[in-house]
Chains A and B, each alone.
Chain A
């Protein structure tokens, strides 16, 4: 049975009047919303979207940064794709990602699980682990430059003391990318840790308790309950970590300046070198755009694959 309410007892004229008032209010709210957004949107358009579009256009031109631009079609892309130096840098970038992302995630999860078991000291550890995240990459690189110096490094002394070979971290072509990965893991670990801890805290205790009652071991609980329920966090962190690792630049720039050897160069380093050392902004833009496409493809693949392994408990 229909129940008449105060609002439903309005006449047709009154109804349209109320609708008009609602529309006006909505328009007013929308206008106010856009007004509040305007400074941010303006900033984005001027400093982000505009340069982005300009860079995209630039990828089809030859331009040294000063003179007139000449349209070269796809030749910047062809040059970039066929340049052995860029190919080597692309391999280095992928190698860095392969080392850094899994290393970071395993270390993040490991320490998060450990910290969950020491609740009293958690805030202390969290601050300690998070400190490198808020430290500038340049400062981090400067510290590691000393730690990687084979002649004065305490790391190398420690390795020698326990009978392990002490590598020439930044000069040995086989060790330079792993060295970057070590620095990358060390600096980003705190963020991963905080995210994993948040994920662990959100896991329903009743699931774990039920598993305990059923006689599951710690390893089984981790493997069968914790990790599956953390999978959305793992997905998020893996995507953001891959995005970050593909763009590694600052450590290399501090370690090597503008003279990084082939074994140490990554794609973003090449972008900066081509633009600001070789004055070839068109080719640099083409390379940056290709990197963007590669990241888009990798992220798309990850989002597609998530259907198979990410478990949402909603």
Chain B
């Protein structure tokens, strides 16, 4: 009987050696190959007058709606419109396609890489089209805070994408847990009564802390904590786009309140886990009574047994809706598209009132990016105060350009915030000073 793992006539050492080196090469290949892309240049997407291809990162169920919308637009526009669903890493695929000159005619653009795509002239300036009067949509239709990030970071003119829809930060709450904690008036009722203030929230969090549940979570992303300064009157950026919240009195007061709540345990740091994997889970599991997030949690909340509703963030006055962060994505047109006229027509139809109504109604998880579509957010009267989504979107702001114009800032900001929240030894001044320095390019 042979004791060998491999037939001895082949030579086990040789086979092992050859196999290991082959394995080594293949194992290292993906990380090396991941860095390579095609060379830049080449031609554009569709041929003149030909079909329109567009891409996004959404899979089912949104992709089913997108495919149906593409079919409708095929009939309306008279050219074949096809949705290219990207399975896997959307950004990596888009960059490869752009680099190889094989990108779709129109595509979704996320906040992190919008500036880079504008800077490297991959996107078509939409301004002439929107000013032409022939567009199915006008810039004035959109909420003002949603598209500044689609402009060049250096302040030069141009608009290179339109927000497809949006998701403003709102204050979700679990009615059952609030009742268990002895909270008799919920945040939405307080807002209706004009008493939804910082003190009201603090009082509510104190009561929840007395139970074994968490009151509220805060994360490390800009979306998670910028709102706590702006909702209490803080000015985060000046006219020129520079971060100023280290010198702004209201921002400092708001941060002082946030740090106090973190210290007392009224608010817990949820860590640096991405959305959908930390706070959401705890809120769904009934472990946290309130949750600052967006409308995208609604489809999951509908499946749960506890009572829920939403309110705007509290304000100093108790009755105002103050500016809060909004997550959004844009649809842009490939500058190398050979069918730009149709690509622009497609874009306008996609983001128009009609397009958003088609995409977002019937269980959608976002808020329209244009005015006048109240029926989407009040659908089935869930949540009860859903009508406020549009009002909050009208006041909010998308990711500040100072953050996304520098990839290092965008990637370092949540890391530094994570470190400081975990260490728990920063003052509002030192915390904001370090971040402002990073954002304004000081480090």
Residues of A within 8 A of B (CB): 47-48, 50-52, 54-56, 58-59, 64-68, 145-146, 149, 151-152, 168, 170-171, 173, 198-199, 202-205, 229, 232-233, 235-236, 239-240, 243-244, 247, 255-262, 268, 271-273, 275-279, 281, 284-285, 288-289, 291-292, 295-296, 299, 303, 312-314
Contact = CB atoms under 8 A, between A and B. Distances in A.
Chain B residues touching A, majority SS: helix
Given A199-B5, A261-B419, A273 B20 contact: no
B31 interface: yes
Interface string B1-39: 111110010001100110111011011111111111100
A235 B422 CA distance: 41
| Residue among A198, A199, A262, A276 with most chain B CB within 10 A | A276
B148 interface: no
B86 interface: no
B20 A51 contact: no
Chain A CB within 10 Å — which of B36, B278, B418 has the most? B36
B32 A51 contact: yes
B16 A232 contact: yes
B415 interface: yes
B79 interface: no
Nearest to A292: B28
A281 B120 CA distance: 15
**A-B interface, 8 closest residue pairs, ranked by CB to CB distance from nearest:** A257-B274, A66-B120, A51-B33, A285-B35, A51-B36, A313-B3, A54-B36, A171-B271
Interface stretch (B88-96, B360-368, B370-378, B434-442): B88-96
A187 B185 CA distance: 48
Contacts of B29: 48, 51-52
A151 B287 contact: yes
B281 interface: yes
Nearest to A257: B274
B220 interface: yes
A58 B35 contact: yes
A312 to B, nearest CB: 6
Contact of B5 (A204, A233, A281): A233
B24 A243 contact: yes
Interface residues of B, number: 62
A171 B272 contact: yes
Most buried by B among A168, A199, A288: A288
Interface of B: 1-5, 8, 12-13, 16-17, 19-21, 23-24, 26-37, 40, 89, 91-92, 95, 98-99, 112-113, 116, 120-122, 214, 220-221, 271-274, 277-278, 281-282, 285, 287, 407-408, 410-411, 414-415, 418-419, 422
Nearest to A68: B40
Contacts of A52: 29, 32-33, 36
B32 A288 contact: yes
Contact of A271 (B12, B13, B31): B31
A240 B16 CA distance: 11
A52 B274 CA distance: 31
Contacts of B99: 65-66
- Which of A47, A278, A303 has its CB near the most chain B CB atoms (within 10 A)? A278
Contact of B23 (A205, A243, A256, A284): A243
Contacts of B418: 259, 261
